[in-house]
A and B are shown apart, each in its own frame.
Chain A
């Protein structure tokens, strides 16, 4: 950005490619965008299934909970939900952190902490579902 106190000028002799070169590629930007949409679409039916499951398991005993997860469809759908949900959450929180945290070191630390916590919670949830189911 130019200094706001100097008069603006336009240098037209430099090509756009020349300006972009050396600044780095867009890296995985498109993949991030696409993965967020794919997981969003997956979560449309899965979150409705989750809401219905919560209604069915309301006030359930642990035995009823194990009986529910012992049905293979329920265990598989819960595992699908966990995969899509935590992936979508990781992508979304990454965008929020990148938008609002401007100091490089703090941003990197926040991203690592949030992603680490998300992987931990996703695995803890999936192992719990499997333990209930098996």
Chain B
């Protein structure tokens, strides 16, 4: 054993001989069923990367607005098209998920809500809040429009 982390992977069998314990497979894949913990975790990462791509759109929107009337009318038309709306719906859903699940992560950082029932409950609240906030946003948005 060269590294202290390996101490957790080495045990003794009934003869007292040192044996290497099996290592757990990756959480996402064929070995495990999808669980609240693993699914909400990987979704936080996926929505984070998706929001990063959406940020390119935010940059483009601001740059077009600064550039002039022609550029701004083009980007506004693209965003109001069907493809634009689908992208924006995805963007808002990702934003609300990352927002709500981010609060969950900050609570964990403060040491709150670590036990399994609380973790499952907060996960369900995050999913429900994501759907609710996205629907409210688009209900208000389409009403104003």
Contact = CB atoms under 8 A, between A and B. Distances in A.
Interface of A: 1-2, 4, 7-11, 16, 19, 37, 40-41, 43-44, 47, 51, 55, 58-60, 62, 65-66, 85-86, 89, 92-93, 96, 121, 124-125, 127-129, 131-132
Given A40-B102, A59-B145, A128 B1 contact: no
Interface of B: 1-4, 6-7, 10, 17-20, 45, 48-49, 51-52, 55-56, 58-59, 62-63, 65-66, 68-69, 72-73, 76, 80, 92, 95, 99, 102-103, 105-106, 109, 137, 140-141, 144-145
B87 to A, nearest CB: 13
Given A8-B19, A37-B106, A128-B62, A96 B49 contact: yes
19 contacts: A2-B2, A8-B1, A8-B20, A9-B1, A37-B106, A40-B102, A51-B92, A55-B144, A58-B141, A60-B76, A62-B68, A62-B69, A65-B65, A86-B55, A92-B52, A93-B49, A121-B55, A125-B62, A132-B66
Contacts of A58: 141, 144-145
A8 B18 contact: yes
B21 to A, nearest CB: 9
Contact of A8 (B10, B49, B68, B140): B10
Contacts of B2: 1-2, 11, 19
A125 B57 CA distance: 11
Task: List the 9 closest A-B pairs by CB distance, nearest first.
Answer: A128-B66, A128-B62, A131-B66, A121-B59, A62-B72, A10-B1, A8-B10, A8-B18, A125-B59
Contacts of A128: 59, 62-63, 65-66
B62 A92 contact: no
B52 A93 contact: yes
